[in-house]
Amino acid sequence: MLSMLRDDVSPSRLRGYFGGKWRPAYYPSESLHVGALEPLATGFLPSRYSGQKKRFLTGALEPLSSGFIKKGFNTGAMEPLGSGFMKKGFNSGAMEPLGAGFFKKGFNSGAMEPLGAGFFKKGFNSGAMEPLGAGFFKKGFNSGAMEPLGAGFFKKGFNSGAMEPLGAGFFKKGFNSGAMEPLGAGFFKKGFNSGAMEPLGAGFFKKGFNSGAMEPLGSGFIKKGFNSGAMEPLGSGFIKKGFNNGAMEPLGSGFIKKGFNSGAMEPLGSGFIKKGFNSGAMEPLGSGFIKKGFNTGAMEPLGSGFIKKGFNSGAMEPLGSGFIKKDFNTGAMEPLGSGFIKKGFNSGAMEPLGAGFFKKGFHAGAMEPLSSGFIDGKRGFYNGAMEPLSAGFHQGKRGFHEGEMDKDKKGFHNGAMEPLKSGFLKD
């Protein structure tokens, strides 16, 4: 995502959008600030941050005025927002005051631009939102700027290229990196498609993350999802769905391969499904089990009622009753004490934690037992282990730290955070 960060908006452009009536006192200009955020007066940012871009900030959330929220994996500071506005999801850029009814939602790294009435920028958008003609919007993981489109057209999803005017009734949807080509009537390319759209036989379409050209298909067949290979004719009623880069194999009646699967589909026992970002072959599972999320390892038989969910690259281990491995976890799941959870982008193995503790965020190191009432303050891409903390203090190791942290050194810090006096943060 770091490569997607951009400075797309200039003060002159902002003046143009706002007619000279408003300029944000706070405009981002510095990325990856890994120092702790100072305590702020309610609802305000310190003048020292004027002119800075706060992206992927690992510091604590400032006190917000009533009715404001910071939700999700947001690493930047939450600015005071106009009534009813919110910053939601993995937003690394600062939230700008928006016109009534507008919001910035999802993994947006760029600043929100004033939009015409009824428009919004949604999803993983790294580029600035451009004013659009009535009824248009840019939605999803779009890294390129939105171009004015002909009436009724839109670009949706993870599109990195500029939107080209399309023939009537056509659209490009999803993770499309190439330019949209005019299509024959009734055809469209949908999803994560990186190649140009080829004219298809009547009623056919290519949907999902498809990098290859669309081949004419037999009547009633469909290739859906993240498929990088050419579509092969399938037996009647079969479907390949999700992020599949291998060729579709004939499946037993009623079976489906769904999600980000890079391997060939194997015949499954009745009622089984492989769902999510699974790169390994589907293994027969015990009745009622499911592998869901971004799992790269093979599915192991699980105890009754257990689930492996999220971006898990390791094999699923049997878990104690009621436990779950969720999100971007690359290490193997270890049995946890009752009621504990490993959540977030954790690449290390989960260690037993004291009651009520959890490891959350982009943690690369193993979780160490913490003293009662403390939380792992390693926020960001940390490689070191969490050490027990003294009461009221947070571990300030933010970023890729290797040595000691120098006072007032902000940015890519190599040193560890020293214990602070109660109620204060290290400047």
Residue 322, φ and ψ in degrees, nearest 5 = 85, 10
Question: 11: exposed, middle or buried (C-beta count within 10 Å: 0-12, 13-18, 19+)?
Answer: exposed
Q: What is the band of 307 on the pLDDT scale with cuts at 50, 70, 90? A: very low
What is the residue type of 14? L
Listed in order, strand segments (DSSP E) in 143-194 are 155-156, 172-173, 189-190
Distance of alpha carbon 190 from alpha carbon 86, whole angstroms: 30
As beta bridge partners, residue 164 has none
Question: 151: exposed, middle or buried (C-beta count within 10 Å: 0-12, 13-18, 19+)?
Answer: exposed
Listed in order, strand segments (DSSP E) in 79-142 are 87-88, 104-105, 121-122, 138-139
Residue 75, Cα to own-chain centre: how many angstroms? 13
Distance of alpha carbon 87 from alpha carbon 193, whole angstroms: 29
Q: What is the band of 417 on the pLDDT scale with cuts at 50, 70, 90? A: very low
Q: Which two tokens stand for residue 346?
A: 């954790």
Query: pLDDT per residue over 180-233, tens digit each?
Result: 333 333 333 433 333 333 333 333 334 332 333 333 333 333 443 323 333 333
The residue extents of the domains of the chain are 1-131
8 Å CB contact between 184 and 167: no
Q: HSE-up of 121 (CA within 13 Å, CB side)?
A: 32
pLDDT at residue number 299: 37
pLDDT at residue number 252: 36
As beta bridge partners, residue 156 has 139, 173
Q: What is the band of 93 on the pLDDT scale with cuts at 50, 70, 90? A: very low
pLDDT at residue number 61: 34
Q: What is the mean pLDDT of residues 267-288?
A: 34
Number of other residues whose CB lies within 10 A of the CB of residue 15: 13
Query: pLDDT per residue over 334-391, tens digit each?
Result: 333 333 334 332 333 333 333 333 333 323 233 333 232 233 433 222 223 333 222 2
Closest CA to 280 of 269, 291, 288: 291
Mean pLDDT in the chain?
A: 34
Strand, helix or coil at 87?
strand
Closest CA to 78 of 36, 51, 44, 41: 44
Query: pLDDT per residue over 134-181, tens digit each?
Result: 333 343 333 333 333 333 333 433 233 333 333 333 334 332 333 333
Q: What is the mean pLDDT of residues 281-289?
A: 35
pLDDT at residue number 177: 32
Distance of alpha carbon 407 from alpha carbon 403, whole angstroms: 13
pLDDT at residue number 10: 41
Torsion of CA 6, 11, 14, 19, to 10 degrees: -170
More confident residue, 396 or 53: 396
pLDDT at residue number 34: 32
Strands 121-122 and 104-105, sheet pairing? parallel
Q: Which two tokens stand for residue 370?
A: 């913490």
Residue whose token pair is 């009813």: 84
DSSP annotation string for 318-348? P--TT--EESS--SPPPP--TT--EEEEE-S
